[in-house]
Structure 1
């Protein structure tokens, strides 16, 4: 996951506009899966779910009823694509599950690593997204019993002094897919949906 706090004027528009861009992306890319994790401040009942529905995203929605329970496995990427359940939305408010939006902390089947300061400072992002970020991912991996995060949350993801966020994600995916230090070092598989056995990392 990439959290973009780049120019705030980009974010000062109706949420429906952004969600329509998401809908266009999923329509144009029929094998892509997208996860949105919301720090939720929406108080009006069903307002959040209605925003997604009004943007035409309900047809891609991964239903709460199909979310893994009590340590169950997630479906494969192939199954999610075939069922067109390609949009996973999580909220920080548990009561929203009754409205059809998954609560993000229900279980440990997905591991999210937050890697940003409490007060985001754009000028510091280059330093934070360089060696420090790679070291922090490694430290969290070890602290979690050699479990790689599924999601990496950062501020100002386009800024770094080195490989940055995308390098960290490449290393994370390589470790999960084949135990390599980079996903590019993994042997290329030949099946159409070669991500079938790979956990969702973004």
Structure 2
């Protein structure tokens, strides 16, 4: 008895449909789409609910701020509120540009160029001398290590220059937590990144609480980059504004017991960094095995 053959018409079409279905089912969810505990959302999105808005079902979300100048125009620069990120470079899941695993707190879900697209206009960057260059590190004791170094600062600064080049009405502010000791180190990295041409001069900054120039004026003069350093001496030596001459911040007062806890946590963190050089995580089913290798 001869076996019967089965004919499938339009076989290429069937295969194409199957491939499309498989691709669709495996791709990450887009903004506004439902998501679950696996949190499989596109890059830059997170699985969230918003009960205040009646949205109790988890959806892939991103908070997109409005540009403050879209609400009212003609005000002084300091009369607007600008969205700013802390440790803007500390990307979750990042690996050091040195090739090392990073053992340092990570604050951001988006890279700096993505933050710019999402409306962030202020960036807090920790800059250190490292490997004969200026690096962005989330470190301690005023030193940068392989396992606290994220990347050379010029990479992020070039992203900012690209944004300013392509958006001639936008202004960026950089707050530098400054551990750089190399002579003219900040000046050099700003110049090499191409940002120097946009810098707002210290000579135009108000020192006694007066209003800043208007946003329109800063845009017209193409002085669209405001840079502050945490080192007061660099205002005279490099022409970079010392932040506390021009900036104020609200004070956060912890209760005494919490101050003690914070000191303890810092000391524990410092001890860990001083005595351990590597932190390796191995996933074993649903558990993690932590191996700590001590300095010899």
TM-score (norm 1): 0.53
Q: Which one has a larger percent strand, Structure 1 or Structure 2? A: 2
Which consecutive residues of structure 2, in runs of 5 or more, have no partner in the other structure? Answer: 1-83, 97-135, 137-149, 255-261, 267-296
Assess, with a 3 A threshold, how the Cα gap between structure 1 residues 114 and 23 changes in structure 2: closer, same or farther: farther
1:2 aligns with 2:85: yes
Match of 2:161 in 1: 23
Q: Which one has a larger percent helix, Structure 1 or Structure 2? A: 1
Match of 1:93 in 2: 231
CA distance in 1, matches of 2:167, 2:234: 28
Match of 1:63 among 189, 201, 217: 201
CA distance in 2, matches of 1:112, 1:74: 17
Q: 1:38-57 CA deviation, whole Å, 9 max, x = no partner?
A: 11000012101110011111
Match of 1:154 in 2: none
Q: 1:107-134 CA deviation, whole Å, 9 max, x = no partner?
A: 4xx333588x9779xxxxxxxxxxxxxx
Q: CA deviation at 1:14?
A: 1.4
Match of 2:220 among 82, 88, 99: 82
Match of 1:41 among 179, 184, 187: 179
Q: CA deviation at 1:73?
A: 1.4
Q: CA deviation at 1:13?
A: 1.8
Match of 1:104 among 234, 243, 249: 243
Which consecutive residues of structure 1, in runs of 5 or more, have no partner in the other structure? Answer: 121-202
Q: CA deviation at 1:16?
A: 1.0
CA distance in 1, matches of 2:171, 2:228: 14
CA distance in 1, matches of 2:172, 2:196: 13
CA distance in 2, matches of 1:21, 1:114: 32
Assess, with a 3 A threshold, how the Cα gap between structure 1 residues 80 and 44 changes in structure 2: closer, same or farther: same
Q: CA deviation at 1:82?
A: 0.3
- Secondary structure of the corresponding residue to residue 40 of structure 1: strand
CA RMSD of the aligned region, Å? 2.4
Q: CA deviation at 1:6?
A: 2.9
* Aligned 1:1-202 pairs, distance under 5 A: 1-3=84-86, 4=88, 5-7=90-92, 8-9=94-95, 12-98=150-236, 99-107=238-246, 110-113=247-250
The structure, 1 or 2, with the larger RCO (C-alpha pairs under 8 Å, 6+ apart) is: 1
CA distance in 1, matches of 2:233, 2:171: 25
Assess, with a 3 A threshold, how the Cα gap between structure 1 residues 114 and 21 changes in structure 2: closer, same or farther: farther
